[in-house]
Amino acid sequence: RFPLASARTPHSPYTQSTMSFLTPENYNNAVAFVMAAYALQFLFMPAKIITDHFKATTPAIALFTARGSAAPMLSMAYAMYKMQDLQYTVASTVLVAFLYPLNAKYNIFQKLKVIYPMHYVPEALMTTLISTGVYLLAQ
C-alpha cells in the first residue's frame, strides 16, 4: 500500500474532513496571529499605521491612545489562542472590524480621510476573516 494515498482514493484513510486546512483550530490561531500583529503595530509603530492609512497628522494623544489599545488587543489575541472558542473569535473579529477598518471606511463615528489603496488591506483582511468564521460556525 502506498503511504501517500490521496483523498480521492476510495479506500484512503485520508478523507476530506481530516485533510481540511480550514478547521476551527487553524482559524482561531490565524486570527490570533493577525490580532497580535495588529496590536504590535499599534504598540511599536502607531504613527506609521496612522499615516499609511489616513490623511492625518499624528498628535501625541493619538499615539498614546494607539499604543494603549495594544494591550487589550494582545490580551484578546492570547485569549483566542488559549480558549480556541470559535464564537469568541468570530465575535471579537466582527467587533474589531467594525471599530477599525469599517468605521474608517463608512465614517461610522467620525469622518476620516482614508488613503486607498492601502486601506483596502485591513478591509479585505477583516472581511475575509469574518466570512471564514461565519462559514465555520455554520458547519
Distances (CA, A) of 98 to 23, 109, 131, 138: 24, 10, 14, 21
pTM for the model stands at 0.83
Distance between CA atoms of residues 76 and 39, nearest Å:
10
Q: What is the DSSP letter of 15?
A: -
| Interval 91-101: pLDDT, tens | 999 999 999 99
Classify residue 53 by burial, with Cβ atoms within 10 Å: 0-12, 13-18, 19+.
Answer: buried
Contact 113, 55 (CB under 8 A): yes
Per-residue pLDDT of the chain (139 residues; tens, 9 = 90+): 445 544 555 555 555 555 588 999 999 999 999 999 999 999 999 999 999 999 999 999 999 999 999 999 999 999 999 999 999 999 999 999 999 999 999 999 999 999 999 999 999 999 999 999 999 999 9
Distance between CA atoms of residues 10 and 31, nearest Å:
34
**Long-range pairs for 64-69 at CB < 8 Å and ≥24 separation?**
66/42, 67/42, 67/43, 69/39, 69/42
C-alpha cell read off for 39: 496590536
Q: What is the DSSP letter of 124?
A: H
